[in-house]
Chain A
Amino acid sequence: MRTFSYVRATDVPSALSAIGTGTGAKFIGGGTNLVDLMREDIERPDTVVDISGLPLTGVEELPGGGVRIGALTRNSHLAAHPLIRTRYPMLSQALLSGASAQLRNMATVGGNLMQRTRCAYFYDLAAACNKREPGSGCDAIGGFHRNSAVLGASESCIATNPSDMSVALAALDAAVEAESVRGVRRIPLADFHRLPGGTPHLETELAADELITAVELPALPLAARSRYRKVRDRASYAFALVSVAAALDVQDGVIAEARLALGGVAAKPWRAREAERVLLGAPAGEKSYERAADAELSAAAGTPENGFKVELARRAIVATLRELEGSGV
């Protein structure tokens, strides 16, 4: 690890002042991803601004039934919170399917949103990686990329976003609240992460000097019967090959409302709006779920190595919706 200066902020203004323009500086919350990346010499901040002491924790009910989550709320705390468990079980399940208990105890909501890809070539300094070193190329293309993107990938990057939490947040229409010296703004979660295009090093809409202060979940009654399904290479402690966050409202055998997002398939949590459109008003049942999955995945493109993820995503969508229907939504 390189040497860096460490600043401990006590409130939001002092954190924003310490981060300056954001050039060469990073906020650190739980540090579960950033410290790893600094050890690997992938992140090389000159200054680390510790925000863990900021008063940005807590899960509060909003008027109207939504929930506001402080950006420094620990993943384990959020997963266990009664409001989340009862109103948004998919979010609780997503958090608990990620990492390990120890990591979840440290990791924050804001940090989880900012976590970086696990692509092997991003992690190996000897490899070419446009995300790590813009313009250097992409060794994952033509290399090991079994867990790379099948949606929204580009010629410069095929990495996926590893977050489970973000997938549930995308399905729930969450909004990210960010503050900078310019003021406070809200970014819809679905727009928060970027697709790689020609600039895979730009991963989110967040400016370098902006601090995530909260995430807000709107009221969403159907989310009370929602589900997060994560498919991976071992029973725990592995990133998703494919994950599905889903909520379904069935009235008299007809789908009145549906929310669907996919993880492990793209550089961002993939809100499956095409699938939702197909589901809306369709009769609940296997055939509708298959049509919805096919509609969403028609744009998916895989290689011989990761192409299985398209079929896997299709099956995982159908299975998750089937289970939701079976659970009496």
Chain B
Amino acid sequence: MTQISTHTVIPPRSTTSERSVGRPVDRVDGTAKTTGEARFSAEYPYPDLAHAALVHATVARGRITAIDTAAASAVEGVLTVLTHENAPVLKPPPSPNPLNLSSMVSGTSVSYLNTDEVHWNGQPVAVVVAETPQAARRAALLVRVTYDSLPATLDFAAEEENARPLKGDLLSQAAAKKGDPEAALAAAPVSVDLRYTTPPYHHNAIEPHATTAAWDGDRLTVHDTTQSIDWVRRHLALRFGVPVAGVRVIAPYVGGGFGGKGLLWPGTILAVMAARATGRPVRLALTREGVYHTVGGRTPSAQRVALGAGPDGRMTALIHTSVSRVARVGGRPEPVTAVSGHLYDAANIRLQQNIVELDLLSNTFMRAPGEAIGTFALESAVDELACELGIDPIELRMRNEPARNPIDGKRFARRLLREAYALGAERFGWSERTPQPGSMRDGRWLVGMGVASAYHPPLQLDAHLTLRLSVDGTVVVRCGFQEMGMGGATATAQIAADALGVPLSSVRVEYGDSALPVAPMAGGATQTASVAAALLTAAEKLKKSLLALAGRSGESPLRGQRLDRLEARDGGLYRADRQGETYTGILSRAGRPSVEVAVGSDSGLGAAAGQVRFMARFLRDRRRWVKAALGAHFCEVRVDRDTGEVRVSRWVGAFDVGTVINPKTAGSQLRGGIVMGIGMALSEQTLVDPRTGRIMNPSLSEYHLPVHADIPPIDVCYLNEPDPTMPLGLMGLGEVGITGAAAALANAVHHATGKRVRDLPITLDKLL
């Protein structure tokens, strides 16, 4: 078997000894990516590599009655055609259990190729393995499948009336109520009661999902485009009935995920199965269409937001209900209405989520699940209420800014929404806005300005890592986190450099490999905070060990010193009187090549204990206070008065995301979220034919992501104040950028045109 070395990254050389955190350091993986040196999952060479291609079902629900693989098998270079008739039998996917997060990693409950049942239009029903990708794809076209179709429920809009209330679980609540909101709404002097809808969306990461799998006896190496290497490893071990320790998942570079690579989808399983069946290393690189057919997207939603207020704008009632979908074969409901429990100080609140189950591929997480679409409805409705009241939309928000968490009266860890609006309004020039819709013009363009709040709760999971400092002064952080382009490796190197007082250039971070200590999946904007917490603990342990080593020698100025009286700087520990010693000096004298410390345990028992600790802390934390990354979006649009074409001309996002570790990568994350929000508002939608359940625009040509020409310069600014309850005061910022963005844009369109579009995307036909 080919040996794959653990992935490492050497940060760019730093010439100063100043602090790294807070500086716009270039990303440590930048050079490797721009030179093409970085290797993605479909790029690992193996001698004797075979290639796989999928055959997708063309019915939504039914049974396979016949599958003819003769023509496909006859194609030159085809090794095998796997179907439910000849595929290796795997153990079924485990039932999802919130106490064991890795049990929730399977995107669906279907045992691919171990059943003749078809559960969605696009489900893989055969896998062709061949000597070349061309032969595999050609043969895949020749597989003839006959189905016995069964009735299927496919039309979200038609099923909406059959939605049932969702039951909450440990991780998220599905309903909440305070006071008597319906009565308060009826009694309110001013009110709005509105319906908003959002379409299905897909992530469209630039790198399509791909897996390269190689077996060596019962040992398995998998290069997979995943946001959760540890869960993938556990799931594969379970399904293939091999020890977890023998499964290695490697994913140093992932070309964007946005949630679409958080769970495990058919391609990963089928590549590993194909490798098992053929005894060859196998690569399965999905086509873009294949990604649409086998990886879930965001649920559509239908939402009601009703707001009641007094003439002064103080809200008395807030009702937010939603219908979203899951599949019969899986999917988690997005917490669509949760955000409405936190933003406005209404005396009476009701939140309720409802779901329908359809015969489609499971939905899955997509950037800010819940908040992204929930804020569209809530923040549009607040703008509509502001219009009803004749109050400036920022002023209305400020009048309803709560002192405590509205839904349950818990304390906020802190709350800087006022400050975010003040900062954003100043930079944007909000005072130049004239309130009357349609009152601002620029030639043929109608100009509009809109605002909305961004909100995303941070989460911190358990990360394990080791930290080693060598006598040559180099530092190595080893932690199995994932890098999908967010800048996690860069931030981790910066944090380590500062915690130990060493130059950034001497820190190396190893990640993206399940052979490393286990880190949580990259999702929910959790990773940086989770790794930072473990890293800070490890750095303290490391410095203690070094101090103890130093203390053994009578020559050391550190002998008898306490760590909390020392400063870690310039590659060593120093007293207030500037006496001290370098780490290199301490290790040389002690005759030690290095010191290494570990945080967390990777043993089965240790990991289980870690899960329990996580859940306990999560629940305790949630009882104690409410915290969130927050922001204020300011959007200016131009709408062509003849054609209704909308162009975004300016954007300012002012955010409170706690400490900003790296303004360059943080800015990219937030800007990326806003770009995705612009797409969500204006042009993106997945077209699922309600007659067949078939996705009809599975391509970047017809699924309209924003292109460069759609995106104006985006001014991202931060309050940059540390959050007292988070490690280093940082909060994840991968998701908050998209929240509220679509509403800010829709509100700006209303201001420009006087037209409210409550049904995304705001295509021009809705403005004619």
Contact = CB atoms under 8 A, between A and B. Distances in A.
Interface of A: 1-3, 41, 118, 120-121, 123-124, 126-127, 139, 142-144, 146, 231, 233-238, 241, 308, 311-312, 315-316, 318-319
A234 B696 contact: no
B645 A124 contact: no
A237 B707 contact: yes
B768 A234 contact: no
22 contacts: A1-B134, A1-B138, A2-B138, A120-B687, A120-B697, A126-B121, A126-B694, A143-B689, A143-B691, A144-B689, A231-B645, A234-B682, A234-B683, A235-B647, A235-B707, A236-B708, A237-B707, A238-B704, A311-B768, A312-B643, A312-B765, A316-B643
B58 interface: yes
B701 interface: yes
B340 to A, nearest CB: 31
Contacts of A139: 689, 691
Nearest to B137: A1
A205 to B, nearest CB: 28
A53 B709 CA distance: 34
A318 B640 CA distance: 13
Looking at chain A's contact residues, is the secondary structure mostly helix, strand, loop, or mixed?
loop
B456 to A, nearest CB: 27
B643 A233 contact: no
A308 B767 CA distance: 10
Contacts, number: 78
Given A3-B138, A308-B765, A316 B642 contact: yes
A319 B640 CA distance: 10
Interface in B686-702: 687, 689, 691-692, 694, 696-697, 699, 701-702
Chain B interface residue count: which class?
Answer: 20 to 34
B137 A312 contact: no
| 3 interchain residue pairs of minimum CB distance | A235-B709, A308-B765, A126-B58
A123 B703 CA distance: 14
A143 B58 CA distance: 16
Given A233-B763, A234-B710, A237-B707, 9 more contacts: A41-B141, A127-B694, A139-B689, A143-B696, A233-B704, A235-B647, A236-B710, A241-B764, A308-B765
Nearest to B767: A308
A312 B644 CA distance: 9
Given A1-B138, A2-B138, A235-B707, A118 B701 contact: yes
A1 B137 CA distance: 7
Contacts of A238: 704
Nearest to A236: B709
Contacts of B704: 233-234, 238
Given A2-B141, A235-B707, A315-B642, A121 B768 contact: no
Contacts of A124: 694, 696
B246 interface: no
Nearest to A238: B704
A238 B692 CA distance: 26
A81 B289 CA distance: 37
Contacts of A231: 643, 645, 764
Contacts of A235: 647, 707, 709-710
B706 interface: yes
Interface centre among B687, B701, B706, B709 (most CB of A within 10 A): B701
A181 to B, nearest CB: 33
Interface string B707-719: 1111000000000
Interface centre among A2, A234, A318 (most CB of B within 10 A): A234
B642 A120 contact: no
Interface centre among A3, A120, A231 (most CB of B within 10 A): A120
A100 B163 CA distance: 43
B130 to A, nearest CB: 13
Nearest to A2: B138
A233 B764 contact: yes
A139 B694 CA distance: 12
A5 to B, nearest CB: 15
A41 B768 CA distance: 38
B78 to A, nearest CB: 13
B768 A312 contact: yes
A308 B768 contact: yes
A116 B447 CA distance: 38
Interface centre among A2, A233, A318 (most CB of B within 10 A): A233
A119 to B, nearest CB: 10
Nearest to A306: B765
A312 B702 contact: no
B446 to A, nearest CB: 14
A312 B697 CA distance: 23
A235 B689 CA distance: 26
B683 A318 contact: no
A63 B93 CA distance: 75
Contact of B687 (A118, A126, A144): A144
Contacts of A2: 138, 141
B682 to A, nearest CB: 7
A3 B763 CA distance: 41
Contacts of B687: 120, 144
Contacts of A316: 642-643
A125 B699 CA distance: 14
A146 B764 CA distance: 12
A322 to B, nearest CB: 8
B702 A120 contact: yes
Contacts of B141: 2, 41
A120 B699 CA distance: 10
A231 B696 CA distance: 22
A132 to B, nearest CB: 14
A144 B696 contact: yes
Contacts of B697: 120, 144
B691 A142 contact: yes
B132 to A, nearest CB: 11
Contacts of B696: 120-121, 124, 127, 143-144
B643 A315 contact: yes
Interface in B651-705: 682-683, 687, 689, 691-692, 694, 696-697, 699, 701-702, 704
A236 B707 contact: yes
Interface centre among B647, B707, B708 (most CB of A within 10 A): B707
Contacts of A234: 682-683, 704, 706-707, 709-710
Nearest to B711: A235
Interface centre among B138, B643, B645, B692 (most CB of A within 10 A): B643
B710 to A, nearest CB: 5
A240 to B, nearest CB: 11
Given A142-B691, A143-B689, A144-B696, A319 B643 contact: yes
A19 to B, nearest CB: 24
